[in-house]
Amino acid sequence: MIDRIARRIAHAFLARIRVGHLVVVEDGADRSYGSGPPSARVCVRSPKVWRKLLRGSRGLAESYFDGLWDSPDPTAVIRVAARNVQSLDRFRARLAPVRAPFQKLRALLFSNTRARSRKAIAAHYDLGNELFELMLDPTMSYSSAFFERPGLTLEQASVAKLELICRKLDLGPSDHVVEIGTGWGGFAAYAALTRGCRVTTTTISHEQHDYAVRRVRDAGVEHLVEVLLEDYRDLTGTYDKLVSIEMIEAVGWRHFGTFFRKCSDLLAPDGLMLLQAITVDDRAYEVEKLGRSFANTYVFPDGCLPSAEVIARCLARHTDMQTLSVGDLTPHYTETLRRWRANFDEAVVRGQLDPAYDERFRRMWRLYLSYCEAGFAERRIGVAQFAFAKPRYRSEPALDLHAVGDPALSAAAAG
C-alpha cells in the first residue's frame, strides 16, 4: 500500500513535466511525460523506488545505486528533472523557515572543526589515487578544464586552464605563491616549471600530499615548491599571490568568512588572488546550504557551494580586497565531466577498476558524475574564476577572458 501511494504521488509530480520528455517503463508498460528535448528513459526495477523518490535527490541517488531503477543515460534523466524543478524549489523555499532552526542546530553540532574537515576530505580524496588516475587526465586536475579551442584533449584543456590561471596572476620568478588546496600537485608543479616562481601549497589529504611531494620531486622543482599537510586556517606568512582551485566547496557555509579573512591576511598589501569556485544560484543558496543532498551526504561530506552573492558579501565584510574580474567556465565543466565519465566507464569495461570498488560504489560514482554534468549543463550550478586584488595592487593582470564563454562550446553543452 505504501508503494502504491508513493507511486501515485510521484506520478502526480511527473505529470507536471512541461519541458523535456521522460519515459518511465515499469512491468512492461511505458508511461510518457512531457515533450521535446532533452529526452530520457527510466526503467523501474522495483516498486520500492517510488517511496525513495519522495526523499528528493538523496532518494533518487540511493534508489539508483541500489539498483531500483536504471537508465541508458542518467545524465538526461537529471537534466529533465532540473528543467522542471521550479515548483519543487518554491515548495522547499516555503518550507525553509520551518526547517531552518533544526538544520542550523545540526550545523552547530557538527561544525567543520579541523578534525572533522580532515575526516570529510579523506572520505573523498583518499579513496585511492588509482581511481582518480583512471578517471582524470595525466595532469590529475580534478577541476574544470578550459577548452579554449575545438579539438583539445582533456589533458590539453587542463593545461590550458593552468596556463589561464598563471596568466591571470601574472606569475613570474619573483613571486611567492600560496595555494590553498594542493590537489595532486598539478598547479604547483606547472607554475614552478613554467614561471620559475616559488609555491607553498597545502592540503589535508594524506594521499594527495604524498602524491604531490613525489610529483614535485619528479618534476625537478622541489627547490621551488613546498608541500604542506596543514589546514588552511593554520597557514602563516605573507605571499605575493594566492590561488585556490575548487577548494572552497569543502570549507562549509559557516566558515566562508573565515576562509576569505585568512586569504586576505596571507597576501601582501599589493597581492593578487585567483579563486576558482563552483557556485549555486543566489536564489537557491539559503535552501541548499542547510539541505542534506545526495552530493553532501555520499560524495562530499559536509560540502557546501557558495553563491556569487555570498562570495561578494564575504569579500566586503572580511577582507580589504576588491574584485578585478569574474570569468565563467560553466560550459567547460559540462564537457570536462563528460570526459571524466567516459574515462570512468571505459575503466569499468576494461576491468581496470579495483574489485574493492563494488557495483554499488560504481553506480554511485557514475551517478555523481552524471549529476554534476547535468547540473552544469542546466546551470543549476556554475563555475567561475574570480580575480581579487589587495588595496595597493596596481599592475594589470592578463585577463584573457574572451575565450572563456566560447559560444560553440556553450551550444554543445546545452545540446
Q: Average pLDDT by consecutive 10-residue portion of the chain (415 residues)?
A: 86 89 95 94 95 85 94 95 72 50 55 62 66 95 96 97 96 98 97 98 95 97 98 97 97 94 98 97 84 80 91 97 95 98 96 90 94 95 97 72 40 35
d(CA 392, CA 234): 25
> From CA 25, how far away is CA 414, in angstroms rounded?
26
Q: Are 155 and 239 in contact (CB under 8 A)?
A: no
Instruction: Please report the pLDDT score of residue 55 as a whole number.
Output: 80
Per-residue model confidence (pLDDT) at position 288: 80
**160 by DSSP, 3-state: which?**
helix
Strands 176-180 and 239-245 turn out to be parallel
Task: Tell me the domain boundaries of the chain.
Answer: 2-84, 114-414
Sign of the torsion angle spanned by Cα atoms 400, 401, 406, 407? negative
Instruction: Report the Cα 234 to chain-centroid distance in Å.
Output: 24
Q: Which of 166, 197, 263, 372 is catalytic?
A: 372
Write down the pTM of the prediction. 0.87
Whether 372 sits among the annotated catalytic residues: the reply is yes
Q: How far apart are CA 250 and CA 256, in angstroms?
A: 10
**CATH classification code of 114-414:** 3.40.50.150
Cα–Cα dist 257/266, whole Å: 14
Tell me the CA distances in angstroms from 243 to 88, 168, 189, 391, one per residue in order: 37, 10, 13, 18
244 Cβ contact partners less than 8 Å away, ≥ 6 residues apart: 179, 180, 181, 263, 273, 274, 275, 276
Contact assessment for residue 380 and residue 279, using Cβ atoms and an 8 Å cutoff: no
Place of cell 578550459: 146
Please give the full DSSP string across 249-304, using - where no structure is assigned: GGT-GGGHHHHHHHHHHHEEEEEEEEEEEEEE-GGGHHHHTT---HIIIIISTT--
Quote the CA–CA distance of 242 and 177 in Å, as a whole number. 5
| Residue where the block lists cell 578585478 | 324
The pLDDT value recorded for residue 105 is 56
Are 296 and 253 within 8 A, CB to CB? Answer: no
**In this structure, are strands 29-35 and 322-328 parallel, antiparallel, or unpaired?**
unpaired
- Looking at residue 407, what is its pLDDT? 35
